[in-house]
Chains A and B, each alone.
Chain A
């Protein structure tokens, strides 16, 4: 085991030499693009499932079927479909965040207080108003807590995505260090991922505080 001080020194060197940024920048980009696509499509599909029984009948088994597939195992497939460049990495992260987001979103929509929807209908509100002003805000607590899980999964998949054909990136850096048994660098990389996790979780927390201030 490397000493914590050695890990810290390695991190310091990384920061000073500028290698930190060359590795972090592409990783952040992959994380951002991939999880944004995955979460957006996931929320949209989850809301559809929550609202329409035909969507539920068709999509719930499909989501249940793709959820347990280790997305890492599909990486070669994505490389063939999307090329070895960034697109396959985006696709892997997007696909991985999509499924947990769908599941948590339709659960959240199911949990919206039915009496509020009935109220909206009894006042003759338009369908779109009921969805965007009653269902979505009501489902927001569940959607955001689902997002915490999805974003953690996105970080896990980031490393997987960088296993193939990534010159730079935190994942690539960790894998390279791992294959050389350079434990200081390995731990430095892992520390960065952990900090990234804490950062994302804090960000979701800040959004929750802002958006869900109405909760008791």
Chain B
């Protein structure tokens, strides 16, 4: 299944936040969306997940989601959104049982996703016992458990410290290399974008429009932070964004 945005524009009252965006999310690839703060990155993600509708333009699914997908469009949030009163296992089983997955089958799914996210030893732990990185791993495991057609990740690593972020980026690369998934990854961190994105969409300042789409052909598993090509791409992205980030920073907030 692919997602496609055609001529998407959006305004909140008098404020135009997104202008004429055409974008398609190809299957099995990670599309990173970067841009200065307030450029409508997260709004775009809400459109893709159907939580909100754009003022004009269309958001469409091309093709059917896989039949074993429990929740085709699944979010991973910046703040993890784990239920603090449920264990790691309980956080995942709540969703499976609500979608009518039989208990035995749910057990197997949970064992599988916890193994993939290196959480097998933490099955019975409560969120308060886990570090930020572990919490986000649980949230990713929960998202994988429903076998989404497209993962919608809203700054998933932004609440973590830089070391944990490195570790989780490696984990995401591992996960993707073993079983490629389709994802839209919103971030303001360019290092994350060049590390995880097959395609990087650079948005301009409000009203957000596509400034440039950068393709990176180096396979995810072969990318390292010392790679000169990636370094150059990151510099290029920063050059595209710098002036706008500066302007966005100076903006008065009046709403």
Contacts and interface: CB of A to CB of B under 8 A. Distances in A.
Contacts of B83: 116, 133-134, 137-138
A119 B84 contact: no
Contacts of B51: 121-122
Nearest to A113: B81
Contact of A214 (B74, B75, B84, B99): B84
A125 interface: yes
Contact of B98 (A116, A125, A215): A125
Contacts of A212: 85
A119 B71 contact: no
Contacts, number: 46
Interface string A102-120: 0000000000000110110
A115 B81 contact: yes
Contacts of A215: 84, 128
A214 to B, nearest CB: 4
Interface in B115-135: 126-128
Contact of B77 (A115, A129, A216): A115
A118 B126 CA distance: 21
Contact of A123 (B86, B95, B127, B128): B95
A137 B126 CA distance: 15
A120 to B, nearest CB: 9
Nearest to A117: B81
A115 B71 CA distance: 18
Contacts of A216: 128
Q: Indicate the size class of the contact surface on chain B.
A: 20 to 34
Nearest to B97: A129
Interface residues of A, number: 19
Nearest to A216: B128
Given A137-B85, A214-B85, A215-B84, A126 B79 contact: no
Contacts of B79: 115
A71 to B, nearest CB: 35
A68 interface: no
B62 interface: no
B94 interface: yes
Interface string A128-160: 010001100110000000000000000000000
Contact of A119 (B77, B98, B126, B128): B77
Contacts of B94: 125, 129, 133
Contacts of B77: 115, 118-119
B81 A129 contact: no
A124 interface: yes
Given A122-B51, A123-B146, A129 B98 contact: yes
Contacts of A214: 84-86, 126-128
A143 to B, nearest CB: 14
B128 A122 contact: no
B49 interface: yes
Nearest to B78: A115
A126 B98 contact: yes
A121 B52 CA distance: 12
Given A214-B126, A214-B128, A118 B81 contact: yes
A212 B51 CA distance: 32
B116 to A, nearest CB: 19
Nearest to A122: B75
A123 B98 CA distance: 10
Interface of B: 49, 51, 71, 74-75, 77, 79, 81, 83-86, 94-95, 98-99, 126-128, 146
13 contacts: A116-B83, A118-B77, A119-B81, A121-B51, A123-B98, A123-B146, A124-B99, A133-B94, A134-B83, A137-B85, A214-B127, A214-B128, A215-B84
